[in-house]
Structure 1
């Protein structure tokens, strides 16, 4: 029997796992043929199930033969280099650096937004309380989105014109803004509408519905 040599992306529940969503979108948008391995979150067996795939004990993890890449942004960078559909990073060196900076800021920041508005992609929760710290995170994200699109919008409707790993990194934020009905600047709201209609985002949301039997 010929062994399947495709990469394996280990992810958590699509409704909740924001970190899993990011590389899944990047690999899907990049046209990479991969196997999806799902670990059910929020159960007594979750930790042990993840450890069978990754020594970090966290999802996502990308398995390339006997090599495991256990970190979302690193997997997105790998996907950018392996993309079959075109570049997932800007070609221009300055734009590429800014794209990586935006992705890294999302990776390490916005703790108030993460804590107060956890990803629940299928839910709709109006009048959700938002603290000043969370509002500050939202304002920074709005400003970043508006600035990126103003600088690079001549090449397309996403943060750096064409869709990049920065869009993958901010996709769970897009879902949060929809879930919690966050009032946004017009430009930021336009980006939410654009990003949430990308084919990879739509496929992830459809997967979340299927997991929930909806």
Structure 2
């Protein structure tokens, strides 16, 4: 029985993008179940049919249901150890999990001021001091990882993995809001944007026509 991944709109749902990318980039087969966000009670009930959280994403593996992006990535790493979603080395694995958890729980200002919206006309906005601090911290994470692990490959810890999936929506945010970053960080963004799975998500997002007003920003 194939895995099922329940996701929301590719244009807006950064949390859906993370496990989708972890699965697709590692050639792990799954059936995609798309439920539009914020379109009425019927779609909300459809989500509740899959997960008691009432939110996307959710992964269904037989009689097992996993919700929350990071929990899904952790489950997939256990379920498919050959994918090496986390680095084999214990120290690198701890580092990858630490920055993934930081991404999961932090960067509130950046999220609020630079929401994911791939249809948005690329242009800069004035960011708050807190959002600028978030940008600086993301840059610091990316540059440090590339400096320490660049010899293993072009992603944060060498090969594409869970940490890259967790930071993938930030790449879109930085692009959409024309946020200037250091050359080392830009090189990492270019690597991510060249990833076939990243391009597949982007193409599908740009093909969507549903507009959610609450996610449309200047």
TM, length-normalised to structure 2: 0.91
> How far apart are 1:110 and its partner, in Å?
0.2
Deviation track 1:159-189 (CA, whole Å, cap 9, x = no partner) reads: 0011110000000000000111101111111
Task: Give the structure 2 partner of residue 14 of structure 1.
Answer: 10
Alignment of 1:18-97 (within 5 A): 18-45=14-41, 46-83=43-80, 86-97=83-94
Task: Give the structure 2 partner of residue 193 of structure 1.
Answer: 190
- RMSD value over aligned CA atoms? 1.5
Q: Would you tell me which structure has more helix in proportion to its own residues? A: 2
SS in 1 for 2:171: helix
Distance 1:96 1:122 in 2: 35
SS in 2 for 1:196: helix
SS in 1 for 2:194: coil
Distance 1:125 1:31 in 2: 31
Q: 1:29 touches 1:85 (CA, 8 Å); kept in 2?
A: no
- Equivalent pairs counted in the alignment come to 209
> How far apart are 1:211 and its partner, in Å?
2.7
2:108 paired with 1:111: yes
Deviation track 1:32-72 (CA, whole Å, cap 9, x = no partner) reads: 11100001012113322211111000000001122210111
TM, length-normalised to structure 1: 0.93
Distance 1:81 1:146 in 2: 28
Structure 2: runs of 5+ lacking an equivalent: 211-218
